[in-house]
Amino acid sequence: MTPETIMDLAHQALIMTGLIAAPMLIVSLLAGLVIGMLQAATQIHEATLSFIPKMLLLVWTLFAVGPWMIHMLMDFTREIYARIPAMVG
């Protein structure tokens, strides 16, 4: 196994991590921004007002894009398993 192979595998893993995490992070960021603006406008600074809507949106997002995330991870895992003989030999 060459250093180039390891770096290529690490690069693909980092890209896959970003793709898998992006939907959840984007929804959390947008929800936090909207809730923060509402809290600033109403001057109500209660922790549960930001926590509960974020959690509900994240659960909804997980149900919406969860199958896609699992499909991407399964494809990536299959690709790695298919490359094992070339890496070892």
Give me the average pLDDT of each 10-residue run along the chain (89 residues).
88 96 96 92 84 93 96 95 85
Q: What range does the domain containing 26 cover?
A: 3-88
Provide the H-helix boundaries in 1-89.
3-42, 47-88
Domain count, the chain: 1
Of the candidates 2, 18, 4, the residue with the CA atom closest to the CA atom of residue 76: 18
CA distance readout (Å), 13 to 47, 48, 82: 35, 35, 15
pTM above threshold 0.85: no
3-state DSSP assignment of residue 43:
coil
Cα 38 to Cα 51: distance, rounded to the nearest angstrom:
14
pLDDT value at position 45?
81
